[in-house]
Amino acid sequence: MQLPEAKQKFIETWGKLGSEWGINRTMAQVHALLLVTPDALTTEQVMEELSISRGNANMTLRDLIGWGLVEKQLRPGERKEYFYADKDIWNIARQVAKERRKRELEPVLKTLEELVQVKGDKNDPEFKTFHKSMTDINKMSKNADRMLDTMLQADESWFWGSIFKMFK
């Protein structure tokens, strides 16, 4: 397989993976493109490479910046904006985990907290089952959340830090 074909395949694969995990396909594709490109690209170049419209390219690039995955670069004497993706995969994973936790997990944790509080008749099986499920899910989510938090700060924690070094 030659480089251009390989790039295409990577963009396609990354896009598919993204969409299966709730990330807009185009966003994942633009990210993939920037990941395999040594230097920063302009909106125009992204449009060109992926055959997408200006509006789409613009919105997607802004989203990627919002996710902390891409940065805008300005070059002295040039008006165009250039976009560059961090290529450290560990940073990328961290960043995505962080954002999704904030955007999607946190609101759920808040709701669960409420639902655990719901009072009812302790002899009613309906209530018992509901309460147990809420308590269990809440407990596990909180633990997962704490664990994620610890992992995200792994560099600062000797304990997880040393465990993760095994995997880096």
Where do contacts with DNA occur on this chain (CB under 7 A)? 19, 24-26, 42-44, 51-56, 58-62, 77-81
Q: Are the CB atoms for 70 and 85 separated by under 8 Å?
A: yes
Q: What are the residues whose beta carbons fall under 8 Å from the beta carbon of 53, sequence distance 6 or more?
A: 47
Q: Contact between 66 and a second copy (CB under 8 A)?
A: no
- Please, which residue, 58 or 137, has the CB nearer to a second copy? 137
- How many beta carbons lie within 10 A of that of residue 2, not counting itself? 6
From the list 64, 69, 61, the residue with the least C-alpha distance to 89 is 69
Binding partner at 81 among DNA, a second copy, none, C-beta below 5 to 8 Å by kind: DNA
- Cβ atoms of 134 and 112 closer than 8 Å: yes
Q: Is the Cβ of residue 81 or residue 99 nearer to a second copy in the bound state?
A: 99
Pair type for strands 41-42 and 81-85: antiparallel
Strand, helix or coil for residue 32 = helix
Which residue from 143, 149, 153, 155 is in contact with a second copy, where contact means CB under 8 A? 143
Q: How far is the CB of 36 from DNA (least distance, A)?
A: 19
Token pair recorded at residue 40: 């920063």
The entry of a second copy, DNA, none that residue 42 binds, CB within 5 to 8 Å by partner kind? DNA
Selection from DNA, a second copy, none that 7 binds (CB < 5 to 8 A by kind) is a second copy
CA gap 137, 117 in Å, rounded = 13
Binding site for a second copy (CB under 8 A): 1-3, 6-7, 9-10, 13, 16-17, 19-22, 35-39, 87-90, 93, 104, 108, 111-112, 114-115, 117-118, 120, 124-130, 132-134, 136-137, 140, 143-144, 146-147, 167-168
